[in-house]
Structure 1
Amino acid sequence: MVPATHHLLPAAMRELAPPWNDLTWDRERKLEELPHTEANERAALDALTAALHEPPYETSAVWSGASPELFDRIRPESMHWLGQSMPTADRLTLEAVADLIRGWAETAEPPVSPRVLEEQLAPAAAALAAYALSDWAHDLLRWLRQEPRNEERIAAVAEGAVEKGLSSHEAVSLLRDIGAPHGENALLRVVRKEDLSESDHAWARESLRHLRSPRYEARAQEPVSGEEPLLPPPTPELPYSWDYGFQWPQDLPETDENFAFARAILEAGAPTAPVPEPVPHPEWQGYEDDEPPVWLEARAVLRALMPYARLVTRQRLTEAMQECALLGIPGVPQDPGSEEAEGFIRQWGTWIGGWIAGEVFAWLGMYVDDQTSITPWALELAEQYTRHGVAAEQAVGMLRWWNAVPRSREALARIVADDSLPPEVREPAQAGLEQE
């Protein structure tokens, strides 16, 4: 009796002709040399469709506690093994991969437990097949990105690849390259699919935002007319762009007019009570492995639509919120008439005002030399902002710049003594008292 053969790739893939059935490392070179004709593009799309036609081989076996380590050990060498021993899709079988893994295990250091090896052969083989399939799809999608022709069909196949988790990042990149209408429309659907990883969702949202950025730029050029400003006067008169974080120029003259404008902005936006949620630092300062907060994505949309303080109106912030919802940014209200939407508008108005105030404090601290021009009003306002959770880092920073001024040291001491303030506020204030 002929032993049963368990193929690890979809049946339709096993019928493909070269180079579409190639699983070797040489596949990339072969595709690079392949002309971008309509016939070749159809063949590439047919090949990807074949891979999406049915799921690859699945095993009922489950991973043991040791299996991730086993898989991680064999994966770096596995693609070379598979390409040498099973160079085409029809030859990638459970039995052949199992033989390769057993052969590797005979000389593996440290040794692999025979029990773990036999228990995990099937899931390890299936995982390696999925890994090989993803590499294969990546190369085909990248080839399609170079000179796409039938954009409608390419977008449909790329969207299918994202749904199946088949080289999703490259598939989203292909949709981004295609752009409007087919790539953009596909991405609008992708961001709403529930069964995707967060990294795939984030890349799809970023790609979609990139495609829609010309709309944002055009809207930002439209003058404000009959709209309700969300920032108190004279803040809308601020000439400095949000593209540069509302930063004041370092060489701005220390004139009475500029000091009066800075003071008026701070006094107009001064909080009278602690805000429900402290205004975050305008630039995220997480560690390399930390996931960036999703509000950064919303900020990118708002900043593109409202690059100047005069554009921060209720109407435009509502439009920005609806755009964020369309992009699928988590936590953004879907109903513009809801209480959640009103909270979104209120929060972002507070945050934008706080970031503007923070840059005023930065200029007053780092680039002003005449203490008599800012005493005592700037020092008093810095303490007020700090106590209420708005631009606290920049306000404390300004007090530290002027720590030789008695009023500034007094404010720092009160901040340090206030147990209601968080450590990330009190500790820099303490450092300001200790510095020479």
Structure 2
Amino acid sequence: MNGADTPLLPEALRAYPYAWWDQHAWPVHTEESEENLAYARALLEECLPAEPLAEPLPPEEVRLKDLDEADWPEWVVLRDVLLEQMPRARDVTALHMAEAEAEWARQGRDTTDFAARSVRLITSWIAAATLHWCGLYVDDEVAMTPWLQDLAERYVPSGMAAERAAWALHQTWRMPESVAALTRLASVEGLSDEVRSIIDGGLERAAADDS
């Protein structure tokens, strides 16, 4: 890294060893070691916004094959620009961000709050990948209780990685802490239909198991 360059992500995120996008983000077969679980927790704590976002961030997936390139959401184009300059979290620096912003400007796009918006997107995708691994691929649910439930419950209304957070609770429905979190979230207003469906599904699984 250039001595004059400045990292734009907190230390815990700068240590993220994977690409921050798609199938390269947090490999699903990562060992369920105490160290990896502790790091997942640290990442989720670091990524969680201090306050709910004014606008929910886009999902980490989109079916581009169903769309013409001209119809891609703007964030998809932005993602590709960011990946070109900063494929890993450690690359998210002031210098690389300036290069990405210059490319964005060359495309005739609005650069208002470019760096802040880009950092939020990258952070949200790292959080989503981490929640996905914890909720769907970690078998030792006891090792994640109660911190996973506590964090997932805070992510759902934050507007960041809300669907993945709801799925983490849904998939750990055997844990009373997850059921309690889902029950509380069921009464939260303003959640998307998709998130609410995931919450309801988790509660239905828990109820069926009790019957």
TM-score (normalised: structure 2): 0.88
Shift of 1:433: 1.0
Cα drift, residue 288 of structure 1 = 3.0
Letter in 2 for 1:420: G
Contact residue 246 and residue 359 of structure 1 kept, 8 A? no
Tell me what 1:321 maps to.
101
Q: Distance in 1 between matches of 2:181 and 2:20?
A: 30
User: What pairs with 1:1-40 in structure 2 (closer than 5 Å)?
Assistant: none
Q: In structure 2, what is the equivalent of residue 241 of structure 1?
A: 19
After superposition, where does 1:219-368 map in structure 2 within 5 Å?
223-242=1-20, 244-285=22-63, 288=66, 291-328=71-108, 330=109, 332-333=110-111, 340=112, 343-368=113-138
Which 10-residue stretch deviates more, 413-422 or 238-247?
A: 238-247
Distance in 2, matches of 1:399 and 1:243, equals 22
Distance 1:383 1:364 in 2: 14
Distance 1:427 1:323 in 2: 39
1:410 lines up with 2:180 in the alignment: yes
C-alpha distance after superposition, 1:107-139 (max 9, x if no partner): xxxxxxxxxxxxxxxxxxxxxxxxxxxxxxxxx
What residue ranges of structure 1 are gaps of 5+ in the alignment? Answer: 1-222, 334-339
**Conserved 8 A contact 1:302-1:320:** yes
Number of aligned residue pairs: give it.
Answer: 204
Q: 1:326 to 1:289 in 2, by over 3 A?
A: closer
Larger Rg: 1
Higher RCO (CA 8 Å, separation ≥ 6 residues): 2
RMSD across aligned positions (CA): 1.9
8 Å CA contact 2:149–2:178 kept in 1: the answer is yes
Partner secondary structure for residue 135 of structure 2: helix
2:189 is paired with a residue of what secondary structure? coil
Q: Is the 8 A contact 1:246 1:356 kept in 2?
A: no
Following superposition, the deviation at residue 245 of structure 1 comes to 4.9
Shift of residue 280 of structure 1? 0.8
Aligned twin of 1:373? 143
Structure 2 unaligned segments of length 5 or more: list them.
none
C-alpha deviation, 1:225, in angstroms: 3.6
